[in-house]
Every structure is written in C-alpha cells, then in structure tokens.
Amino acid sequence: MILFRTNVTRYISEREISMSRIDWLQRQRVQGYWQRMSAAVVFITVLIVTSCSFLTGSRRIVGKIDPPNLSILRAPSAVKAKQTFVISVTTAGGGCVTPEGAEVHVSRLTAEVTPYDRVRGNVCDAALHGFPRDVTLQFDSPGLATVRVIGVNQTGERVVVESQILVRPQ
C-alpha cells in the first residue's frame, strides 16, 4: 500500500484517492446533468412563450350580426340631407372579442356598413355579448335611404340587415 502525504500532514491511501476521484466524477456528471436540464428548461420555456404569443395573437374579423335577441342596427327614422347623424351597429362575440370600428361606403341614398371585431386568442367563453359601436353617416340628397349592415353569422356566412331612413330636405 502506497501512502501520500498531504498538506494537512495526513496520509491518504490509494483507495481514498480513487474514491475521491469517483466522487469527483459523479459530482461532474450530476453538475453536467443539471446544466443540461436547465438549458432544456430555458429552451422549452422560450418555446412555450413564443408559441403562446402566436396562439394568443389577435386578428381582425367581420363582426357577427345574426343572434336573434340582438338589436343589430339602431338608426333614426328620419334625418336631414347634408347633415351627419349617428347609427349604432352591434355585433356579437365571446369574452375575447372587442369592437374595432366599421367600414362605411355611401353611394347616393345607400349606405353599406361592415362592422369589424378584434379577436384575441383562440379560446373564448361561449356566452355571447353585444358589442355596439357608433357609426357616423350623411346622405346628401332627400329621399328614402337604405342602410345595410353587412356581417357574418356563426358559421361565417354573409348576413345583411337593412333599415330605411327618410332623408328630408334641409
């Protein structure tokens, strides 16, 4: 048996040296394992965060206007020519939907209004809520005007709701 002298004036046997090497190797393996694991955890976390932000991103959609218990279009029965007036257009959606304005096209005595909503995420609560928005219109000539609200139903098919407004001379 060979003995080695250390700084502490203690003699260590070869067996103790080989055991300390084994311990050192095991510690290195464990440390390497945890380093690899922490790198994997960081990678997976980054992957999940970027995936969730992709999945929960928002998109603009044409508003849903078909629920039977929803007052989709509120407009005055009569207005004056060349004066602006406000109508209210209401869309329906779940908890992750917010109203995002409307696109308006006016041609003589016809106005077409397409409401838009912003949907955030892919999972919403099932309860339908109404999302009203005010839209400003103006007809330049007197007569019987038509306001059309163009939206979609729950299956994505086009739906049109119309209302007649009497436009009086100034």
Q: Give residue-wise pLDDT tens across range 43-99.
A: 777 666 555 445 557 889 999 997 666 789 999 999 999 999 999 999 988 888 889
Task: Please state the domain count of the chain.
Answer: 2
31 and 111: one domain? no
69 and 147: one domain? yes
- pLDDT, tens only, 12-57: 555 555 556 666 667 767 676 767 777 667 777 766 655 544 555 7
CATH number, domain with residue 145:
2.60.40
Q: Which H or E run contains 146?
A: strand 143-152
15 and 63: one domain? no
122 and 73: one domain? yes
pTM reported for the whole predicted model: 0.65
Question: Does pLDDT of 100 surpass 50?
Answer: yes
What is the domain extent for residue 142? Answer: 59-168
Give the integer Cα–Cα distance in Å for 110 and 15.
98
100 and 33: one domain? no
Q: Beta-carbon neighbour count of residue 59 at 10 Å? A: 10
Categorise residue 156: left if φ over 0, alpha if ψ from -120 to 50, beta otherwise: left
